Amino acid sequence: MTPTRPMPLTRDLVLIGGGHTHALLLRRWGMAPLPGARLTLINPDPTAPYTGMLPGHIAGHYDRDALEIDLVRLARHAGARLVLARAEGIDRDAQRIHLPDRPPLAYDLVSLDIGITSDLPELPGFAAHGASAKPLAECAARWRTFCERVAAGQARPEVVVIGGGVAGVELALAMAHRLRALGVRGSVTVLEARPEVLPGIGDGARRALLAHIARFGVALETGARVASLGADAVELADGRRLPAAFTLAATGPRPHPWLAQTGLALNDGFVTVDGYLRSVTDPAIFAVGDCADMRETPRPKAGVFAVRQAPFLHHNLRAALSGGRLRRYRPQRDYLKLVSTGGKGAVADKWGLRLDGGWLWRLKDGIDARFMGKLRDLPAMQSAPLPREIADGVRAEVAGGKPLCAGCGAKMGAEALTGALKALPAPARADLRSGPGDDAAILDHPAGAQVITTDHLRAFTEDPWLMARITAVHALGDVWAMGAAPQAALATVILPRMSAALQARTLSEILSGAGAVFAKAGADIAGGHSAMGAEFTLGFTVTGLAAGRVVTKADARPGDALILTKPLGTGTLLAAEMAHAARGPDIAAAWASMAAPQGAAAALLAPQAHAMTDVTGFGLAGHLMEILDASGAAAELDLAALPLLSGAADCAGAGHASTLAPANRAALAERLGAPETPEAALLVDPQTAGGLLAAVPAGRAEELCAGIRAAGLGATAVIGRIVAGSPRITAA
């Protein structure tokens, strides 16, 4: 049987924005990806809120997680890279998307689903004192903080909503319900510049909503024009001041300003598209959802159209990338609008009927639950069955069907590595201070000592720029741990098969991401080697110069305090993410932790440390045991003091672990004494770009931790101490 040959990548499809249409497209793409197309999603956050459930969240019926679309999970399902950034512009001539703090991203085809905003930047005081209903994430977060302050008696329950359309009234009712549930007598006022509220809605639904407004005591001010916002009041154009501790703008759809700089045809700032959802100006650009203006079939901004655009966008993007025929999208003329009424009730608007009651809430809740369920319950991708005839031992190696982890989780176990290294001869060079098994080579140098180390990682994210930053930090770990100043780096890059154009784009992203890390550390990328292979793998060989003492693992002393500079849990979180079981925000936080450099921490620790290493593939316990073996001492760890990445203990408690964790545990045999808890399980979790582990004089430990936290590694903590005894770790 001839093995399946992976298709070379030849085209870049970039989705800007994690709106509803793009979320549904990612689900479809994962079930049937287009061979040869590299898919990228750009979004500022790892999750995107579902607009239909925002009023229910504001009212307190749903928690925040209930309305979050996890884009990390969807990207994993679709085989897409997720770039956590906010697009700032498109250079259509160069076919580049501009992003803050990283180089432009190239595209062959791009789709926009960035939604709308209700910001009022021209209103004096709004930036400092106002909140916008859209984007939703910030609105939800600020409302939650306000409610907590009201409940604690730290804020007055006075709310003003600017905008008396359906969205403004629905949110005002939700806020009134929430304040009532908090047990406070609050005030909610809706300001509308037009002569009446709720324009554009049927008479029956309007009468029903006005009745609910009266029931909650929500005040309506029509013909009211806002002049400015203050910290505790809204000032109107007629001179009146309305008390307001929370002011929300729900003034209708406003386009994102940067669209005006793209040169695309716009209508009121929204991208004009044809019946194929393609820009009428540029066939390489599509737009959907609220940011699009459908020239042939104009419709109001509503989520129902975004949802129904998804299959057409999916088909048309694939067709545009492969030379197929596009399909025309024809939206329905009218749709059922369900407007929640604060409590668990709703009003329906269609054909001018008046329908009101709890059964409509249940209908709406069911529709929302089905939509979110579709994006959460992703179809499991079945692994290929084993051949009928296989060599002995294969089934044991693939037991459980768990794929090989990436990052440090893909490394060999300590026992296999140690056994192989024992066969190496002793160093023959007189100027080589280190031997087989050391993390880095130490060579005599006229200025002191030069350290040389190398490390590489199997990619765990499809974003080459982010992967390069993390790999650079990871490779620098041994140099920093020895108290050396980084000098130069050589790159080893293995890319999956792709066209020459995509090779150039990818290498540019890698060198940009890694180059910035090395430059900040005082080193330069001097060259390297590149090749094509089965999967993306990246590594660096790094040199460093130690003008004074080289810090090793061999001089930890009883009484020393143990400092760890980064939280644990990367291996467990990455394994859980591969299984679609980790939360997107937790993975984003883990990426940020891995990408955080440690040069400043090393500069503070090295002069004081008796022993130091970086925590990587063998986990905290494994690397601590190396210090103990070299120093002839034991250690006691305080499990409660361990800094942990958000979600790591939960994932460990659910049984998720890296494929390397069992080997790490076995290598410690009976020398690790710890309870069977999720926190203790993370002691053997392989860390990618993990923290520095230093044994320092106890009297200096807290001062050093404070300095390192101030330098940017906020999770730094004292986690235990060195004690007399044979090498052993006791954790409690």
Residue 584 belongs to domain with CATH number: 3.90.650.10
Q: What is the dihedral of CA 33, 37, 43, 49, to 10 degrees?
A: -20
Residues 171 and 51 in one domain: no
Please report whether residue 606 resides in a domain.
Answer: yes
Cis peptide before 385 (omega within 30 of 0): no
E-assigned strand segments in 606-716: 611-614, 634-637, 672-673, 692-696
Q: How many domains does the chain have?
A: 4
pLDDT of the residue at 467: 97
Token pair 């906020």 is found at 714
Q: Are 493 and 530 in contact (CB under 8 A)?
A: yes
- Local structure of residue 453 (DSSP, 8 states): E
- Alpha-carbon distance 708 to 692, whole Å? 11
Give one word for 200, left, alpha or beta, with left for phi > 0 and alpha for psi -120 to 50. Answer: left
Burial classification of residue 92, based on how many CB atoms lie within 10 Å of its CB (0-12 exposed, 13-18 middle, 19 or more buried): middle
**In the numeric block, which tokens belong to residue 396?**
């044991």
What is the pLDDT at residue 617? 93
Q: Which of 519, 535, 550 is the last residue of a domain?
A: 550
Residues 557 and 689 in one domain: yes
| Claim to verify: residue 570 and residue 692 sit in the same structural domain | yes
- DSSP three-state, residue 273: strand
101 in any annotated domain: yes
What would the DSSP string read from start to end of 128-149?
A: HHEEESSSHHHHHHHHHHHHHH
- Note the pLDDT of residue 435: 64
Residues 24 and 76 in one domain: yes
Examine the fold and report which residue of 521, 550, 579 is the final residue of a domain before the chain moves on: 550
In this structure, the strands spanning 37-43 and 81-84 are parallel
Question: Does residue 642 share a domain with residue 580?
Answer: yes
Residue 712 lies in a domain: yes
Burial 686-707, CB ≥16 within 10 A → b, else e:
bbbbbbbbbbbeeebbeebbeb
Would you say 617 and 686 are in contact if contact means Cβ atoms under 8 Å apart?
A: yes
The residue among 497, 524, 550 that closes a domain is: 550
Are 648 and 713 part of one and the same domain?
A: yes
- Looking up residue 519, the CATH number of its domain turns out to be 3.30.1330.10
**Residue 584 sits in the same domain as residue 529:** no
Does residue 3 lie within any of the structural domains? no
Please indicate whether residue 291 is annotated as part of the active site.
Answer: no
Query: Do both 558 and 537 map to the same domain?
Result: no
In this predicted structure, what is the pLDDT of residue 2?
A: 45
User: What's the token pair of residue 133?
Assistant: 């209903």
Which pairing describes strands 270-273 and 219-222: parallel, antiparallel, or unpaired?
Answer: unpaired
Q: At what angle do helices 464-481 and 500-521 cross, to 10 degrees?
A: 30
- Domain-embedded: residue 2: no
- With respect to residue 523, please indicate whether it lies within any of the assigned structural domains: yes
Averaged over successive runs of 10 residues, the pLDDT of the chain (732 residues) comes to 69 96 96 95 94 92 92 96 96 97 96 88 91 81 94 95 94 96 94 92 91 95 95 94 94 89 96 97 96 90 87 97 95 86 92 82 93 88 73 72 70 64 66 68 87 94 96 97 96 96 96 97 95 94 93 96 98 94 96 97 97 96 96 97 97 94 92 96 97 98 97 95 97 94
Active-site residue, from 139, 147, 405, 408: 408
367 in a domain, yes or no?
yes
Predicted local distance difference test score (pLDDT) of residue 34: 96
| CATH number, residue 185 | 3.50.50.60
Q: Are residues 476 and 625 in the same domain?
A: no
Say if residue 97 is in the same domain as residue 185. Answer: no
Q: Is residue 274 part of a domain?
A: yes
In this structure, which amino acid lies at residue 476? L
Looking at the DSSP bridge assignments, the partners of residue 286 are 111, 278
User: Are residues 598 and 705 located together in one domain of the fold?
Assistant: yes
The verdict on 608 and 704 lying in the same domain is yes
248 in Cβ contact with 117 (< 8 Å)? no
The residue range of the domain holding 481 is: 438-550
